[in-house]
Structures are given as C-alpha cells and as structure tokens.
Amino acid sequence: EFTEDGYPAIFRKLVSRWPVAGGVVVDGDRETVYAAAGLTHYDGTYVVALDAVSGKLKASNDSSGNLSSQVESGISMQGNLTIADGELRFLGGGVYETARFDLDTLRCLNPERNELTSQYRTAFYPYYPDYGKYVSLEHRCEDGRYLCHDASYEGSLFGNLTLEAALAPGEKRPVKDAAREILRRRGKKPPAPQKLWQDTNDRRFTSFIVSGDRLLTTGHPGNETDQSFLAAMIIEDGSDAWKIATPAQAVKGGTAIDHEGRIYVALENGQLLCYSAAAE
C-alpha cells in the first residue's frame, strides 16, 4: 500500500520526514542552541538557531535541501551536529560530505553542485540503528599524538584503536572520509604514522570520551554483542584501568560525564545507567 506521493504507507506511519535526529549543539559565546531536521533533501532540510535562554528563533534555513537549480540536489541531515572552525556542521548525505552553515545567519556555505551521482555514503544511526552503530575516533592529544580508530560507515570493517606518534614538522595526516573512515581518498598517501600502541582485543566501539589521561569507551569484543562493556583505558599505554560488563550494548555516542565525575550510559534496551567512584 502506497500513499499518493509514492511513499509506503507504513513508512509514513512510523517515520517522521523531519526528525531532529542529530541532537542539538550549543554555542555558549552566542548563547545559541542549534538544531536541524530532515530525513531526505527532497523533502526539505530545516536548520534553526534558537536563543538559549528564551527559546526565541534567531535564524533559520529551509532552502539547503535544494542547492542546485539544475538537478535539485542538496543537503540531507545525516549526522550529529557539531561546531567546528566557526561553522555549524553535520554529515550532509550523498552529494555533500559535510553540510556547513554560518553560525549567525545560517546561510549555507556549501557550493552548488550539479552532478547527478552521489559521492559519499552514510548510514546515520538514528535512521539505521542496526547498521551504523559504531564510531570512529580521530583525537589530537595536547602533546600532538593522536588517538585513532577506524570504523566503516556501515559497521563491517574496523581498524584497531591506536595511539599514534606526533607528526614531524610539515607532515600531514591522511585525509579520511568523514562517513567511511576505513577507505582513504584517492591520490598520493602520506606515510603511515608510527603506532605507539595498538589495541589487539578486536573490540568494536560505540562511544568514546577523552577525559584527562583516560579514554572512556563502550563496545563489545568482535562479534560477541552479548559481551558489552564500559571501560576506561589508560591513554599512555592502551591498557584497561578498569572494565565492567553492561546488561546491553550502549547506544551510539551514549555516554556522558558530569561535573562531579559521574558516568552516564544509555543502553539499547532502554536503560540509563549511572556510575560513580566508590566511597572511600
């Protein structure tokens, strides 16, 4: 059974065409909360900036779903919102790897493209929870070393979590696709960075938090999805400072630490767990 505009009827009943699935992001200096919605570009993509105190609308963009007058291609909301290099950004779908917006006006900063073919691949976890649940990591430590973990966009290929040495002056890191970290872009590749340690436990990770000299992780070993864990790894040597079993897998990006050091973990079975240090 289909609706008048060609959608399966059950799809229309179960899935919103404009989910705010990428979460929100806050710019404290501007006292502004940003959000975006839109499952597919041809149904419309909507980006808003709200006053963090009053909730009043400060700026909006409802035109980025169609950036090409020739082929009507545009941006789909396919990733979590971030603020980077003075811009609001999120994964933009098949035509645009990253959607980019001015923080004050929400003017879309992506150029018009008139190609008919898609160039990037995504499997956004809120839309495909059994398909795109694993995370990659590319974190530069204060001393220039990098924590790195590669997971393909659909969750079938993985690299090992590593701590890589700082780059020599003038040396550049390999450029990776934002949605598919395993495959490098075409062209000459720079030398592989030196690995200071490498996690050999064949673990799949669903969240990372870098906190001081620890890397907080959730995941499971290999294909053993029934052996989910929460672990704190020592960044210096890659060993586990501690690890505890969780009753279900953590959702993608489902961990947080509050100002008192308590750890919160959201699980796929609907549970929300809170951990704190044992009383002395």
Question: Residue 14's pLDDT is what?
Answer: 60
Question: Residue 15's pLDDT is what?
Answer: 67
Taking the C-alpha atoms of residue 135 and residue 133, their distance in angstroms, rounded to an integer, is: 7
Question: Residue 9's pLDDT is what?
Answer: 55
Which amino acid is present at 51? D
- Tell me phi and psi for residue 169, to 5 degrees: -55, 130
Q: For residue 58, how many other CB atoms are within 10 A of its CB?
A: 18
CA angle 173, 177, 183 (to 5 degrees): 85
Is the alpha carbon torsion for 203, 251, 239, 157 positive or negative?
positive
For the segment 220-265, what is each residue's pLDDT rounded down to a tens digit?
998 898 999 999 999 999 999 999 999 999 999 999 999 899 999 9
Contact 183, 177 (CB under 8 A): yes
**pTM to 2 decimal places:** 0.77
pLDDT < 50: residue spans in the chain: 10, 183
CB-based contacts of 227, cutoff 8 Å, min separation 6: 220, 221, 245
Question: Residue 152's pLDDT is what?
Answer: 85
The secondary structure of 116-136, three-state, reads CCCCCCCCCCCCCCCCCCCCC
Q: How far apart are the first and last CA of the chain?
A: 62
Question: Residue 231's pLDDT is what?
Answer: 97
Q: For residue 3, how many other CB atoms are within 10 A of its CB?
A: 11
Question: Residue 153's pLDDT is what?
Answer: 80
Question: Residue 6's pLDDT is what?
Answer: 55
Integer-rounded Cα radius of gyration of the chain: 20
Question: Residue 182's pLDDT is what?
Answer: 53
